Structure 1
Amino acid sequence: MLDKLKKHISQNFPFLEKSKLLMATSGGIDSMVMVHLFRELHYSIALAHCNFQLRGLESFGDQNFIQEYANENEIPLFLTQFDTETFAQDYKLSTQIAARELRYNWFYELLETENYDYILTAHHADDTIETFLINLSRGTGLEGLLGIPAQNDKIVRPILPFTRAEILVYAKENNIQWREDSSNASDKYLRNKIRHHLVPLLKELNPQFMESFQKTQSHLKESQELVEDAAIMVYQQVAREEGETIVFDLNQLLRLPNYRSYLYQWLHEFGFTAWEDIYALVESQSGKQVYAPNYRLLKDREVLMLSPILQEKEVEVYFIEKNVREVNFPLNLTFSRADDISGASNSIIFVDQDKLVYPLILKRWEEGDSFQPFGMNGKSKKLSKLFKDEKLSLLEKENCWVLWSADQIVWVLGIRQDERFKIDNSTKNILKIALQ
Structure 2
Amino acid sequence: MRNKLLRMIRQYDMIMPGDTVVCAVSGGADSVALLFAMYLLKDRLDIRLEAAHFNHHLRGEESDGDEAFVREFCGRFDIPLHVGSAEVRPGKKGLEAAARDARYAFLRSLDGKIATAHTADDNAETVIMRMIRGTGLKGLGAIAPVSGNVIRPMLLINRQEVEEFLNAWGLPHREDSSNASDAFLRNRIRHTVMPLLKSENPRLAENLSLMALRLREDEDFLAAQSDFATLPGVQTLKAMPKARRSRCIERFLKDSGVKEPEDSHISGVEGLLFSDRPSARVNLPGGVTVSRRYDRLEARTHKPRPEPVVLTCPGETVYGDYRVTCTPADKIVNTPDTFTVRPVGTMILRPRESGDSIRLSGGTKSLKKLFIDRKIPAAMRERIPVLCDEQGILGIYSIGVHADRAAGELPAVTVHFDVDVPESGD
TM-score (norm 2): 0.62
Name the count of aligned residue pairs: 292
Deviation at 1:73, TM superposition (A): 2.2
- Structure 1 equivalent of residue 342 of structure 2: none
Question: How far apart are the structure 1 equivalents of 2:16 and 2:235?
Answer: 48
Residue in 2 aligned with 1:289? 282
Name 2:169's counterpart in structure 1: 174
SS in 2 for 1:79: strand
For 2:268, which of 270, 273, 277 is the aligned residue?
A: 277
Q: Superposition pairs for residues 281-430 of structure 1, below 5 Å?
A: 281-284=272-275, 285=277, 286-293=279-286, 295-305=288-298, 307=299, 309-313=301-305
Deviations 1:146-189 (A, max 9, x none): 12111111101122221111111111111110000000111111
- State which drifts further: 65-74 or 160-169: 65-74
Q: Per the alignment, in what secondary structure is the counterpart of residue 48 of structure 1?
A: strand
Note the alpha carbon deviations across 1:105-162, whole angstroms, 9 max, x for none.
Answer: 2122222xxxxx2111111111111111122222222111112111111101122221
Match of residue 78 from structure 2: 74
Rounded Cα–Cα distance in structure 2 between residues aligned with 1:104 and 1:210: 25
Q: How far apart are 1:230 and its partner, in Å?
A: 4.6
Inter-partner Cα distance in structure 2 for 1:151 and 1:171: 25
Q: Does 1:123 align with 2:107?
A: no
SS in 2 for 1:263: helix
Q: Counterparts of 1:168-207 in structure 2 under 5 Å?
A: 168-207=163-202
* Equivalences for residues 88-167 of structure 1 within 5 A: 88=90, 91-111=91-111, 117-167=112-162
Partner-residue secondary structure (3-state), 1:78: strand
Shift of 1:214: 4.3
Contact 1:128 1:148 in 2 (8 A): yes
Instruction: Quote the residue 1:45 is aligned against.
Output: 49
CA distance in 1, matches of 2:221, 2:249: 17
The one of the two structures with greater contact order (alpha-carbon pairs below 8 A, sep at least 6) is 2
Is the 1:278–1:290 Cα contact (8 Å) retained in structure 2?
A: no
Change (3 A) 1:193 1:294: farther
Equivalent in the alignment of 2:352: none
DSSP-derived class of the 1:293 partner: helix
Query: What runs of 5+ residues in structure 2 fail to find an aligned partner?
Result: 255-259, 308-426
Assess, with a 3 A threshold, how the Cα gap between structure 1 residues 310 and 16 changes in structure 2: closer, same or farther: farther
Q: Compute the RMSD of aligned alpha carbons.
A: 2.6
Q: 1:214 to 1:77 in 2, by over 3 A?
A: closer
Aligned to 1:252: 236
Query: Match for 1:291: what amino acid?
Result: L
After superposition, the C-alpha distances for 1:205-255 in whole angstroms (9 at most, x for unaligned) are 2334235424533542453355335545xx6xxxx83xxxx4x43333334
Q: Which residue of 2 aligns with 1:223?
A: 218
CA distance in 2, matches of 1:308, 1:96: 33
Secondary structure of 1:180's partner? coil
Larger radius of gyration: 1
**Equivalent position of 1:268 in the other structure:** 250
Q: Does 1:57 align with 2:39?
A: no
**Corresponding letter in the other structure for 2:101:** E
1:44 to 1:218, Cα distance in 2 relative to 1, 3 A: closer
Match of 2:340 in 1: none
- Given that 2:158 and 2:206 are in contact with CA atoms closer than 8 Å, whether structure 1 keeps it comes out as no
The amino acid across from 2:249 in the alignment is: L
